[in-house]
Structure 1
Amino acid sequence: MPHLFARHAKDKLNAQKITEIVASCDREPIHLLGRIQPHGALLCFDRQGRLIARSANAAHWLGAVPAIGETIRDEHLSPLSRQTIRAALADRASQDESVECKGADGERFDLILHWSGETLIVEFEQISLKAPAATQFALFAQRAIQRLQATSYDDVPQLLQAAAEAIRAMTGFDRVMGYRFMADGSGEVIAEAKHDDLAPYLQQRYPASDIPQQARRLYVLNPIRQISDVNAPPISIEPPTHPQTGVPFDLSHSVLRSVSPIHIEYLRNMGVGASMSISIVRDDKLWGLFACHHMKPYRASHAVRLSSTVLTQVVSILIAQIEAKQRALADHRISEQRSRIAAALAQAESPLAGLVSAAQDIAALVNCEAVAIVVDGEVVVRGKHSAMKRELLLELAQHLARERTDYFVSAAIDEMLPAELASGLRSEGVAGCLAIQMLGDSRKTIVWLRDELVETIHWAGPPDKVVAMGPNGPRLTPRGSFEVWKQTVTGRSRDWSDVDQNAARELRSVLQEVALMQMRESERARTTLLATLGHDLRDPLQAINMAMLLMGRGLASNNDTAKRVEGSTRRMQSLIGYILDVSRIRSGMGLGLRRVDVALGDLLESMAEQARLAHPGMTLDMHIDNRAATVHVDPDRLAQAITNLLGNARKHGDTSQPVTLTATTSAAGVAIEIRNRLLAPPTVPFDRLLDPFKSGSLDNPANRGGLGLGLYIAHAIVKGHEGTLAGRFTEDEAIVEIKLGSGDPHEAAP
C-alpha cells in the first residue's frame, strides 16, 4: 500500500496550526448556511404572519407565494397549506407533524413546520411518486419494534445488528451501519446491513474529527438528517439573513437544511450518492448513530424517517436496558465481594493482614493481571506480577501521596506518571494502572495492574488531518481514501471501564468505613481502659488506706499492715502493667522484647512453679520431650504469656481435673500445648476471645478482679516472637497451642 500520508509541501503545517484549523472547523455555523436542498421549498414568517424570507425555488414548486413583507392571501399556496400555516401562526402549540399538500403542478409535498425563536419556518418536502402510504411504514416499524422488544439480546452489538437490518428493510438504503462513539470521540461500526456487492465497514474506526462538535450538537437537537443527492446544487434563502437581527436563519431543526461543503466532499470520496443519519441519544448525549448510505441519489419520505426515528428511540431504550442489566450484575458481584472484604478487614489484626486475606476478592473486583497492596512500607502482590520490584510500587504509593490524590486511573502510564517511575513499571510489562489510596494511622494503597495490549485498529482510511489551501487560507479537507488503514497501538492497556472504576471507589469506601469503625473502637477501647483502671485500682487503694488506718489506731501490727500494703501494691502494679501492655500493643509500639537463649525445660519449670503458687490446688501435668533444648526468647514475657494461659485454664476450667502442658521440639520449631477440661463449652469462637474489649470481660464471675486482657496480651507476646497462638474447643476440652519458629530452638552446647 502506498504511504497515504505523503503530502505536497504546501500541505505541511505544524501541529499548532492544524489544531487552530480544527478549532475553526468546529466553529463552522453549519446550521446557519442560508441554503436548503433542492427537493423542496422553504418559507419564513414572522409572528404577524408576514413572509420575511423564502427559498429561491419557492415559486417554482409552490406557485404563487406572498411577496416579502406580505401575509398569505387566498391566491397563495394550496387551501390546506394556507389553513395549516394560519393555524400555526394563531397558536404556537398547534403544529401537526406533517400534512400532505399539493404544489403548483399537482406535485405532492409533506408540509412540515416548526418555530425557530420568533420565526415560523415552513418546509415543503417533495414526496416521491413511488412512495407507499405512510400507514404502511408505520405498520412495518411497529412490527420491527415488537420483534426487537421480544428478543433477548446478550449485548448491544447484537441489538444494533437487528435494528440495522430492520432500518435497511424499511428505508431501502444500500447500507445501514450501527455506529457507537468511543470515549475519545472516535466511532466504531459495530453493526452493518448492506448490499452484497459493497465492501464491509464492520469493525472499522472513524476518527472524532469526522463529526465536528457543532454537527454532534445538531444530531442531538434534530435526531434525523437526510441528504438526498450529494451532487445537487443547494438553493439559497432570500434574503439570507433575518431583516431585524441581520443573522442567518437558524435551520437546526430543518429537514431541508443544506450541508457543509466539507461533508459533501467527504461523502463523495466514499462513493456515496445519498445518506441519512439517525441519532441514538442516551441521557441527552449522542451515544451513536445509524448511518444510511445509498450509492445513487435517493430520498426516504418523511413518513419513513419518522418511523425510523421511533424505531431508533426504542433501540435507545433497549440499549439502556441491556446496560442496566449488565450494571446490575456487576453491582451484585461487587456488593458480594465488598461484604467479604469488609468482613476480612474488620476481623484482621492489622490493615495489611486484612487486605492480604481479602486479596483474592480485591483482585476480582477489577479485571486485571495483578493487584498490589501497599501498607506503609509493606508490599504484597498477587497475580501475574508477584515478583515485580517492590520499590516501584512503594514509589507509586509515595507519588500518589505527594500529589495528594486518593484516586488514579490510566491506561497509558507513560502519559500520566513521572518518566522514571513509568519506565520502571513498563519494564515489568505494566501499561495501565488503577489505584486508590487512603491516609490515616497507616497509608493504604491498592493498585490494580494491567499489561500492555498491542491493538490493531482498523481505520476507515488514515485518520490524520489533511490540509489544503482554499480561497480563505488553509482548511481541512476530508480524506480521499477509505480503504482499511491499520494502526498498531502500543504502550496502552485495556481501558478501565466505569464498572472497574466504580469497584475501586467501592473498595475505598469500605476502607473508610472500616477505618471509621476502628476509630470508634479505639475510642471505646480508650474509654474502657480508663474506666477499668479506675474501677480496679479502687480496691487496692482502699485496702492500703484501711491498713494504714487500722495501724494508726493500734488495731493492726506493723507486720500485718506491711503485708497488706505489699499485696495491694503488687495488685496495682499488675493492673497498671496490663494497661500499659495493651496500650503499647494497640498503638503499634510493641512490647520491647529482650531475647536471650534460655533452656526450655528450666523456663517451663519456672513458669509451672509460679502458676502453682498463684493458684493453690491446681494440678499441672507437664511433658517436655527435650529439656536440654534452648530457645531464643524474652523469658519474662514468654513466662507472662504462658502463666496467663495457665491462669485462664484454672479459672475457666474444671478444677477437679489436671491442666496438661506439653512441649515438643522438631525441625519446625517448638510447640507448647495447654489443655484443660471444660465445665461448659464457650458460646463464642476462640478468635473472639482474643478481643481485649469483648463483652463480659469485666465482672466475669469466673475471673473476679480480672480485666479479661490476659489472652490478648499473651497473643501479642507470641506474635512478637514471630510465633502463632491458636486455640480450639471440643465438647469438653480447651486446647491452646503456641508455635515458635524453626529458628528458635537449638541444642545446648555440650
Structure 2
Amino acid sequence: MQNYKNLKVDLSNCDKEPIHIIGRIQPHGFMLILDRSTLEVVQVSENIGDFLDTTPANLLGKTLAHIISDAEYATLVNQVYIENPLNPQAVTLQQRSFFGFIHFSENKLVLECEPLAVSATENRLENALSFSQFQTELNALPSFMEQTFALVNYVQRLLDYDRVMLYVFDQDWHGEVIAERVKPGVHSYLHHHFPATDIPAQARELLLKKCVRQIPDVHATAVDIVPYFDPATNAPTNIIQSELRNPSEIHLEYLRNMDVGATLSVSVIVQGKLWGIIACQHQTARFINFWKRQTCLVTAITFANTVLANQEKTDQQVIAKYKAAEVRLIEQTKAAGDFRQGLFNETINLLHLTEGHGAAMYLNGSLTTIGKTPEPSELMEILEWLSEREINQVTSTRELSRYLPDAVNYRSVASGVLAIEISKYNKEFILFFKPEIYETRIWAGNPEKPVIAGNTYIHPRESFSHWEDIVRGKSLPWSLSDITIAQILQKDIIALLMQKQAMLLKELNEELNASAEELQLKNRKLEDFAQIIAHNLRSPMSNIRGLYDLYKAEPSPETGVEVMDRMSKMIDNMSATIDDLNLVLRSAVKQELAKEAVPIAELIQKEKQNLQATIQTTNAQIHTDLKVPVLHVPKVYLQSILHNLLSNALKYSAENRQPEIMVRSWVAEDQVYLTVSDNGLGIDLDKVQSKMFGLYNTFHRNKDSKGIGLYLTKTQADLIGGKIGVESTVNKGTTFTISFPASVAIT
C-alpha cells in the first residue's frame, strides 16, 4: 500500500500532503496505538513479530498484559500514566530492552520502541566530552563562518556521515548550503540553493515541533499500521509526533534521486523561528542511536544561541550608527525649521539612515528626492499604491514589481522599497529605495524541472547537478535595523509636525494680537478658541501619553505596531481638528465665521476615537438616532459641543452600571433639536441651576474636572444661534438639549 489509503501524492499536491495521518512506519522499530483509558491495543505495526513474540492479530483488542509479565506490565502502566512522561524511557517487554517513545493523540496513547543497545549507552561519556570540546572551540572562533564550519565538522565526526550540510532558509523559504563537510569522493552542495518547494510549508511546520528526524534506510520497505483506520472512529490516527512515522513518498523519491541512503536532519531554531537545518546524508543505510541524536539536538540549540548572539552583535553596531544619524537629522530639521532642508540638504541626510541608494518625501503636496529614485510620475504611482493598501505604518518589500507590475520598468533603481507613512490619506510618505541586484544563484539541479511519468504522475527532479539562474527584479533584503530606524524616524517626524502645527497656531495668534482693534471686536471668539484648543485636544493628548507609557512598559515589535497604528488615528484626528481651528482663526481675522454642512455621525465617530481609552475602560456604549443627519453650522463649534457633552457623560458615569449614552437629533415646531443623554451620576438641579453654565463651576469630584466644558458649550451654542437646556435626576442620568433655528437643518 501507499502511505494513505485514498490519496495519491505527487509534486502537484505535496504542499497539502496530510503527513500527520501517514499509515506506515519505518522498520527499525515498532508502534503500538493504545486506548488511553483501557490500554487496549487499537492499532499496531505489522512488524511487531520482529521484536516481540506475538502477532498483530494476537494483540488487537487486548492489553499488553496478554504477552508480557505482570511485573513488566505494572512498570509500563506507571511509565505511560505518569504526568509529563519522559521521552524516551527504558521499556522492558518480554525481558528485552527498548527505547520507549510515548505521546498522546486525542484519546489514544502512541508507544513506539527502538531496540536499546548497551554499547550505545556506554559511549555517552565519550559523546559528552566531545560535545564539551566543540562548545569550547565554537566560543573561541572569531567569525560566524568559521563557527558554521566548526559545526558541520563536529557533527560529521560524531555521526560519521558522508555529507553534513548547514542549510539556511531565506525570506522566501528557499534554502542555501552555507557550510558543508563531505568525505572524499562525495559530491558537494556548498553554496548551492534549493527551492522552497523541496521543503513544503507543512514540513517546515513539523520541523519546528519535532526537531530531530531520522531515516536510517531510504530504500527500506515501510511497515503498515493495521488496521489503517481506527475501528472506533473509522479514521486514521494522527501520528505527527511519531519517531518512526514513514517519510513522505515524494521525499523518499527525492532522496533516492540524490543517491542518498540515510538521512538525519536537526532543526536550528532561532527565537522561535526555523532558521535552518543541519542536514546529514549517507550514501548507504545508517542507523544513529538516540544518544547521538540527542547530542545533535543539543548541538543545534547551542549553535542557535551563537546565531542569535551574532545577529544581536551586528544589529547593535548598525542600529547605533543609524540612531546617531537619525538624532542629527531631527536636530537639523528643528534648526532649519523646514523638513526638506533638514532631511535632504545637510551633511547628514536620509541616505545615512538605511542601506537604501535613494530616498524621497512627499509632504504638503511637494515631492523631494535624493540619490537614485524613480521619476516623479513613477513615485506618484508608488504613493497611490501605498495609500490604497492596508499596510503597517512602516512597510517594506525587496520585490516591488510583485505588487506593482509597472515597477518592472524602473527596477534598476527601485526593486526594493521601504515606506514610512506620515499621512496615508494625504498620500504623504518617506520612501527609501534599493536597486535590483544581478544575483547568480547556483541551484542543485533545475528547480523548475520535475519529471512527468507516462501516467502523468509528477516526480521530483532527477538531476541535482550544478544549475545557474539569474535572479531579476529583487533587491538586497531590508534588515531589521532598517525597519527599526524607520519606525523611530516616523515617530519623530510626526512629533515635529505636531510641534510645527502648534507653532503655526502660535504665529496666527500673535498676528491677531498685533491688531488691537480687531482683537476687541473678536475678543469673545478668541477666548472661546483658546478654550477649545485646551479642552478638545486634552483627551487625544492623554491617550497618546497612555500609548507612549504602554510602549515604554513593553517595547516589543508587536506593541510598537499596535501603538503606532492607534496613535496614527488619533494624530489624524488632531491634525483635522487643528486644521479646523486654523480656519476659525482666519475667519476671526476677517470678522466672519464660515458655516458648512457638518455630518453629525462623522463628528461622533471622531470623538469615539479621541475618547477611546475611556470608552474601553468603562465599556461605554454610545448610540445614535439622527433624524437630522447634517447641520449647516460652523464645524469647529459643533465639534466642540459634542466633545464636551460626550466627554462629560463618560467622565461622570456611575461606577455600578455600564455607561449608556444616546445622541439624538430631530425637527419639531420650526426648531432643530440635538440631545445628549446619559445614565450617569446626574445633577441636583435645585442646588446648581443658576451655576450650571458658569465658568470654572464643577458639580462632582473628579480629578479631570476643570469647570470649562459646559461654559464653552453654552457659549458656542449661543454663537451658532442656539439655546441649551438641561434635565437631570440624581443617580439616574442627565439630558442636555440644544435647539437651533430650523434653517440649520440639512435633511
Match for residue 494 of structure 2?
Answer: 512
Report the alpha carbon displacement of residue 204 of structure 1 after superposing the two structures with TM.
Answer: 0.8
Query: What is the SS of the residue equivalent to 2:300?
Result: helix
SS in 1 for 2:254: helix
Q: 1:381: how far off?
A: 4.1
**Residue 430 to residue 34, structure 1, CA distance change in 2 (3 Å):** closer
Q: Work out whether residues 11 and 459 of structure 2, in 8 Å CA contact, stay in contact via their aligned partners in 1.
A: no
Please point out which of 419, 432, 443 is paired with 1:435: 419
How far 1:409 sits from its partner (Å)? 3.5
CA distance in 2, matches of 1:29, 1:445: 45
| Match in the other structure for 1:331 | 319
**Partner secondary structure for residue 196 of structure 1:** coil
For normalisation by structure 2, the TM-score amounts to 0.62
Which residue, out of 119, 139, 143, partners 1:150? 139
Whether 2:452 is the aligned partner of 1:468: answer yes
Of 21, 25, 31, the match for 1:36: 25
Number of the residue aligned with 1:51? 41
Q: In the alignment, is the contact (CA less than 8 A) between 2:329 and 2:348 conserved in 1? A: no
Residue of 281, 294, 298 corresponding to 2:286: 298
Q: 2:310 aligns with which of 322, 337, 340?
A: 322
Matched, 1:220 2:208: yes
Q: Give me the whole-angstrom Cα distance separating, in 1, the residues matched to 2:265 and 2:87.
A: 23
What corresponds to 1:570 in structure 2?
A: none
Letter in 2 for 1:409: S
| 1:115-130 pair list within 5 angstroms | 115-127=104-116
Whole-angstrom CA distance in 2 between matches of 1:537 and 1:129 = 99
Aligned-residue offset at 1:333 = 2.1
Asked if 2 retains the 8 angstrom alpha-carbon contact of 1:80 and 1:101, the reply is: no
Q: Deviations over 1:391-448 (max 9, x none)?
A: 54455446645769765634334333362x652x34x754333333524999754332
Question: CA–CA distance in 2 between the matches of 1:524 and 1:281?
Answer: 55
Structure 1 distance, partners of 2:62, 2:427, is 78
Partner of 2:76: 85
The answer as to whether partners of 2:99 and 2:116 remain within 8 angstroms in 1 is yes
TM-superposed CA distance for 1:144, in Å, is: 4.5
Q: Please state whether the residue corresponding to 2:51 is helix, strand or coil.
A: helix
- Cα offset, 1:463, TM superposition: 0.6
The partner residue of 1:67 within 52, 59, 66 is: 59
RMSD value, Cα? 3.5
Partner residue of 1:98 out of 78, 89, 93: 89
Residues 179 and 189, structure 1, Cα contact 8 Å, conserved in 2: yes
Q: Give the aligned residue type for 1:91.
A: I
1:313 offset after TM fit, Å? 1.6
- 1:674 corresponds to: none
The partner residue of 1:479 within 454, 461, 467 is 461
Query: Is 1:136 equivalent to 2:120 in the alignment?
Result: no
* Residue-by-residue CA offset, 1:543-594 (whole Å, 9 max, x unaligned): xxxxxxxxxxxxxxxxxxxxxxxxxxxxxxxxxxxxxxxx99x99xxxxxxx
2:172 aligned with 1:181: no
Structure 2 vs 1, CA of residues 376 and 168 (structure 1 numbering), >3 Å: closer, same or farther?
same
Match of 1:169 among 136, 157, 160: 157
The question of whether the paired residues in 2 share the 8 Å contact of 1:376 and 1:443 is answered with: no
> SS at the partner of 2:38?
coil
Work out the CA distance in 2 between the residues paired with 1:501 and 1:92.
44
Residue in structure 2 matched with residue 620 of structure 1 by the alignment: none
Distance in 2 between the 1:443 and 1:138 partners?
62
- Contact 1:181/1:288 (CA < 8 Å) preserved in 2? yes
Check whether the contact 1:100–1:110 (CA below 8 A) recurs between aligned residues. Answer: yes
- In structure 2, what is the equivalent of residue 113 of structure 1? 102
* Residue in 2 that maps onto 1:503: 485
Evaluate the alpha carbon distance shift between residue 244 and residue 461 of structure 1 in structure 2; reply closer, same or farther with a 3 A threshold.
same
- Structure 2 vs 1, CA of residues 224 and 125 (structure 1 numbering), >3 Å: closer, same or farther? same
Residue 340 (structure 1) aligned to one of 328, 348, 351: 328
Whole-angstrom distance in 1 between the partners of 2:384 and 2:229: 61
Aligned partners of 1:495, 1:185: CA distance in 2, in Å? 14
Return the letter of the residue paired with 2:399: A
Query: Kindly tell me: are residues 69 and 475 of structure 1, through their superposed partners in 2, closer, same or farther at Cα, counting changes over 3 Å?
Result: same
Question: Which residue does 1:286 correspond to in 2?
Answer: 274
Aligned to 1:417: 404
> Residue 64 of structure 2 aligns to a residue in which SS?
coil
Classify the secondary structure of the residue corresponding to 1:286: strand
Q: Equivalents in 2 of 1:258, 1:359: separation in Å?
A: 63
List aligned pairs for 1:375-394, cutoff 5 A.
375=363, 380-383=368-371, 385=372, 389-390=375-376, 392-393=378-379
Cα separation, 1, equivalents of 2:34 and 2:449: 41
Measure the CA separation in 2 of the matches of 1:37 and 1:418: 48
Q: Identity of aligned pairs, percent? A: 27
Find the aligned partners of 1:530 and 1:408 in 2 and give their Cα distance. 43
Q: Which residue of 1 aligns with 2:253?
A: 265
Deviation, structure 1 residue 128:
5.7
Structure 2 residue matching 1:218: 3-state secondary structure: helix
Which residue is 1:452 aligned to? 436
Given that 1:178 and 1:189 are in contact with CA atoms closer than 8 Å, whether structure 2 keeps it comes out as yes
Q: How does 1:401-412 map to 2 (within 5 A)?
A: 409-412=396-399
Provide the C-alpha distance between the structure 1 equivalents of 2:246 and 2:316, rounded to a whole number of angstroms. 44
Cα separation, partners in 2 of 1:95 and 1:373, compared to 1, 3 Å: closer
Partner SS for 1:447: strand
Alpha-carbon deviations, 1:296-315, whole Å to 9, x = none?
10010011111111221222
**1:702 corresponding residue in structure 2:** none
Contact kept? 1:62, 1:77, Cα under 8 Å: no
Distance 1:138 1:78 in 2: 35
Question: Bigger shift: 346-355 or 290-299?
Answer: 346-355
Query: C-alpha distance in 2, partners of 1:198/1:30?
Result: 31
Q: Which range is displaced more, 478-487 or 434-443?
A: 434-443
Unaligned runs of 5+ in 1: 1-19, 539-582, 588-750
Q: Which has the larger radius of gyration?
A: 1
Alignment of 1:602-617 (within 5 A): none
Partner of residue 27, structure 1:
16
Distance 2:238 2:12 in 1: 21
**1:235 is matched with which residue?**
223
Superposition deviation, residue 140 in structure 1: 3.7
Going from structure 1 to structure 2, the CA distance change for 1:45 and 1:326 (only over 3 Å counts) comes to: same
| C-alpha contact 1:192 1:202 (8 A) present in aligned 2 | yes
Within 2, Cα distance between the matches of 1:78 and 1:347?
A: 88
1:350 equivalent in structure 2: 338
Q: Does 1:210 align with 2:198?
A: yes
Given residue 222 of structure 1, which amino acid in structure 2 is its aligned partner?
Answer: K
Structure 1 range deviating more: 393-402 or 206-215: 393-402
2:11–2:250 contact (8 Å) kept in structure 1:
no
Give the SS at the match of 2:214.
strand
* Partner AA of 2:343 in structure 1: L
Q: Kindly provide the CA deviation profile for residues 486-539 of structure 1, in whole angstroms up to 9, marking residues without a partner as x.
A: 01122332222333233333322221111112122333444455456559989x
SS state at 1:57 partner = helix
Match of 2:723 in 1: none
SS in 2 for 1:231: coil
Structure 1 position 60, deviation (Å) = 2.4
Classify 1:209/1:81 alpha carbon distance in 2 versus 1 (closer, same or farther; 3 Å).
farther
- Number of residue equivalences: 513
Partner secondary structure for residue 62 of structure 1 = coil
Deviates more, 1:197-206 or 1:141-150: 141-150
Instruction: Give, in whole Å, the separation in 1 of the partners of 2:492 and 2:242.
Output: 52
Going from structure 1 to structure 2, the CA distance change for 1:358 and 1:88 (only over 3 Å counts) comes to farther
Go from structure 1 to structure 2 and tell me whether the alpha carbon gap of 1:88 and 1:447 turns closer, same or farther (over 3 Å shift): same
